[in-house]
Structure 1
Amino acid sequence: MASLKDVAKLANVSLMTVSRALNNPERLKPDTLTHVQAAISQLNYVPDLSAKKIRGARATANTIGVLALDTVTTPFSVEITLSIEETARAHGWNSFVVNMFSDDSPETMVDLLLSHRPGGIIYTTMGLRQVPVPAKLLTLPCVLANCESLHDPVASYIPDDEQGQYEGVKALLAAGYRHPLCLHLPSQHLATVRRRKGLARACLESGIDPDSLLHHYMEFGDEHYRDIPAMVESHMPGGKPHFDSVVCGNDRIAFMVYQVLLSHGVRIPEDVAVLGYDNMVGIGDLFLPPLSTVQLPHYDIGRLSALHIINGDSHRETVRVNSPWLQRDSI
């Protein structure tokens, strides 16, 4: 790989001149800049940003470091990091991601992130949760995406789960369904608590006691999606549902519900309507019929978090991002 010295030799200029061409091109005469840029192009030279950062030992302007806890390894929230990168590029910034898994040492991963000298930091997680924010992260502009701080006041951008569930259930009830079976995510999840509030608000507005409905909560762990069929069938004596709709904690639960209902000859939505949540990437339209659901606003969360850093925002509030209701054919 070509070095800075190689460029300087080919262009017959000093190392300082090449450095200025890369970092302060306005300080060079146009002819000199063109000459150096031609040498860079001919050699396919790539600037060594890490070396520059080490020499400067300071934050690199226009670079966002992303500490991703279980985020980029999942199809559900990869849009967060995608949006951060696209937003950064659109504003002349760069971004890089350091993955942190549940069994990693947070201190080690934070040190790795900071060794790249970012100008700002976004800490993002898979699944809405509360996290302790390492003190070292707060030495730079820092924002949380899809999570909230347990202790320190830190700006956060999270889904508005209560409003999203309210809009979905409101549409379900407005369509004439009055006896939903509610299959929730695990009760300890932040999203579960907030979505239950949204469901209750929609029910009360329609004159329905939310506590009178049929409620089931999943146990924690992906293996417990296999418990969903038994939950549904427990309210289907003889294969006939004692409910007219199913409110699902997410689209994966809805996928299991579809299989149970269709295997018993129950028509969707003529006999039973189904409401999902999340709008799983590339999946919602593949349900037959297409699944009515609520959009988790991961792309908007990534965009707003990046803009928080880029614009130099200083607030430390929690911003709830709109989770839109998506009307399809299952209601």
Structure 2
Amino acid sequence: MSSLKDVAKLANVSLMTVSRAINTPERLRPETLEHVQAAIKQLNYVPDLSAKKVRGARATPNAIGVLALDTVTTPFSVDIALAIEETARAHGWHSFVINMFEHDNVDDIMNLLLSHRPAGVIYTTMGLRHVQVPKKLLTLPCVLANCESNHAPLASYIPDDQQGQYAGTQALLKAGYRQPLCLYLPHQRVASQRRRSGLEQACREQNVDPDTFTHLYMSDGDEHYRDIPGMVLANIRQGKPQFDSVICGNDRIAFMVYQTLLGQGIRIPQDVAVLGYDNMVGIGDLFLPPLSTVQLPHYDIGRLSALHIINGNSHCDTIKVNSPLLLRDSL
């Protein structure tokens, strides 16, 4: 790989002149700048970012650091990171991602992130949750995406889970369903109670008593998706479901529900309607019939979080982003 010295030698200029051509081109005469840039192009030289920082650069111009807790390592919320990058590029910025896993030493990860000298940081998680924001992040403009903090005064952009479940339940009730089987995510999840509140709000507006529904919560841990068929079968007697619809905590639950119902010869939606949640990337249209679900607004969350940094917003509000209902053939 070519070095700064190689460029200086080919262009027959000093190292300082090459450095100025890269960092402050406006300080050079046009003909000198053109000469150095031609040498850079000929050698395919790539500036050494770490060396620039050692020489005293205070921040990487127009860079957003993304601290990603399980966000880009799962298929469920990758749209957040995609939206941040696309929004940054559209505004002449760029982003970089530092992944953090549950077992990582937080101080080590913070040092790695801050060593890149970002102009601002977006802390994002897979699955809405409360986070303990490392103190070092508070030294920079920082915003939370798909997560909240109970102790740090930071802006948060999160899904409006109550509104999303309200919209889905409202559509279910207006279609005439009155006996749903409700299969929620684990009770301790932040989204679970907010979604149940949305369900109950829709019921009250339709003069329907939600206490007459069967409400079941999945246990925490991915292995407990295997419990879903048993929950469904326990509410089928002599081949007849004791429910006319299933409200699912997410599309993965809906996938298990589909397999169970269809395996029992129960048709969707002719016998039982199914409503999902998440619009898991690339999956909704692959259900047969296609799954009606609520869109988690991950792309919009990423976009708004990036704009928060780019525009220099200073508010510390929690912004709930609309979660639209996607009606397909299962409802």
TM-score range, shorter chain: over 0.9
- Establish whether residue 191 from structure 1 lines up as the match of residue 188 from structure 2: no
Q: Quick check: 1:122–1:305 contact (8 Å CA) kept in 2?
A: yes
Map 1:299-318 onto structure 2 (within 5 A): 299-318=299-318
Equivalent position of 1:52 in the other structure: 52
TM-score (norm 2): 0.98
Equivalent position of 2:39 in the other structure: 39
Map 1:170-249 onto structure 2 (within 5 A): 170-249=170-249
Secondary structure of residue in 2 paired with 1:215: strand
Equivalent position of 1:73 in the other structure: 73
TM-score (norm 1): 0.98
How far has the Cα of 1:301 moved from its partner?
0.7
Q: RMSD value over aligned CA atoms? A: 1.0
Q: Quick check: 1:233–1:239 contact (8 Å CA) kept in 2?
A: no
Equivalent position of 1:132 in the other structure: 132
Equivalent position of 2:157 in the other structure: 157
Equivalent position of 1:95 in the other structure: 95
Equivalent position of 1:117 in the other structure: 117
Mark the runs of 5 or more structure 1 residues left unpaired by the alignment.
none
How far has the Cα of 1:61 moved from its partner?
2.1
Q: Distance in 1 between matches of 2:295 and 2:262?
A: 24
Q: Distance in 2 between matches of 1:302 and 1:192?
A: 22
C-alpha offsets along residues 49-90 of structure 1, whole Å, 9 cap, x if unaligned? 111112115222211111111111100011111111111111
Q: Distance in 2 between matches of 1:298 and 1:139?
A: 26
C-alpha offsets along residues 249-284 of structure 1, whole Å, 9 cap, x if unaligned? 000000000011111111111111000000000000
How far has the Cα of 1:26 moved from its partner?
2.3
Q: Distance in 2 between matches of 1:205 and 1:150?
A: 32
Q: Distance in 2 between matches of 1:271 and 1:231?
A: 18
Equivalent position of 2:169 in the other structure: 169
Q: Which moved more, 1:275-284 or 1:263-272?
A: 263-272
C-alpha offsets along residues 278-310 of structure 1, whole Å, 9 cap, x if unaligned? 000000000000000000111111111111111
Secondary structure of residue in 1 paired with 2:329: coil
Identity of aligned residues (%): 76
Secondary structure of residue in 1 paired with 2:238: helix
Equivalent position of 1:147 in the other structure: 147
Q: Distance in 2 between matches of 1:48 and 1:172?
A: 57
Q: Which amino acid aligns with 1:26?
A: E
Q: Distance in 2 between matches of 1:73 and 1:238?
A: 43
Q: Distance in 2 between matches of 1:46 and 1:237?
A: 68
Equivalent position of 2:265 in the other structure: 265
Q: Distance in 1 between matches of 2:27 and 2:55?
A: 21
C-alpha offsets along residues 224-244 of structure 1, whole Å, 9 cap, x if unaligned? 001001111111001211111
